[in-house]
Structure formats: C-alpha cells, structure tokens
Amino acid sequence: MVKDKSDFARATIPDMIVRVIDQRGVTMNVHTIQTVGKKTATADVSYLLDGTESQNILNGHDAVSKTFWDGPALMVRTTVKLANNAEEVVTDRWELSDDGETLTTTSHIVTAKGGIDLKLVCAKEKLPS
C-alpha cells in the first residue's frame, strides 16, 4: 500500500495492506493481509471475470460479487448481507497503470447510513529471483 496516495476517508488508515492477485483463466483470486496496530486480518476472495456471479464470505458475512469491464478498468460490484437483513453494496474500480507497476482501487460503499468513497493505491513488489 502506498499510504500517501491512498485515501480512507473517515476509516482508520491501516499500517499495512498487502494484496496477492492470482488470475487463472476467468478466475481471479485475491488474498489480502491488513494490519492496524497489533491486529492483522486476512481475506481471500475469488471473482469470475466473465460476469458470472461469485460467492464469498467477507468479514463473516455472505457476499455476492459480479464483475464487468468499463474500458480498461475492472469493476467489481459486491452485495454483502449484514445483520438484520441490511445490505452493503461495494462498487470497486480496479485500474492498473500503463507500466503495470501500480494498482489503484477506488471503492464506493453504500449502506443504510449513507455512502463513502475510498482509494487504495498499491505498488507492485519485485519477487526475489
């Protein structure tokens, strides 16, 4: 995560976010590690890039995602079932820089309490040879 280019609005800024993205055919698996203070959380999700809905668990809640392309940007719209049948809708826009070194994810999150916009900028790490 590039902290000075990311924007977490009113949310706590993580100390670290690492994303490992593995695409095989139409399946994109995303493993995320996030640390805030002494607490580390992980998440593993899979998206189907052909527009087929995918089912995941996010923070202990059922989630359904659908992907689509908006020009060169991958859009991921996820509906999360919260307690009391409330829903949270997250629309992520994933954009890779022309040189393939920077991934910018902008997120628009809507709940019954309103909406919020976030931006996460990640720089590609070089794998050891």
> Which comes out higher in pLDDT, residue 74 or 129?
74
Radius of gyration of the chain (CA): 15
pLDDT of 127 > 80? The answer is no
pLDDT recorded at residue 12: 85
pLDDT recorded at residue 54: 96
Q: How many CB atoms lie within 10 A of CB 122?
A: 18
pLDDT of 30 > 90? The answer is yes
Q: What's the fold here for domain 3-123?
A: Lipocalin (2.40.128)
Per-domain boundaries in the chain: 3-123
Conformational region of residue 72, where left means phi above 0, alpha means psi within -120 to 50, and beta covers everything else: alpha
pLDDT recorded at residue 104: 97
Contacts of residue 32, defined as CB under 8 A and 6 or more positions apart, other chains included, come to 17, 18, 19, 20, 42, 43, 44, 45
Q: What is the mean pLDDT of residues 62-66?
A: 96
Q: How many CB atoms lie within 10 A of CB 118?
A: 17
pLDDT recorded at residue 85: 83
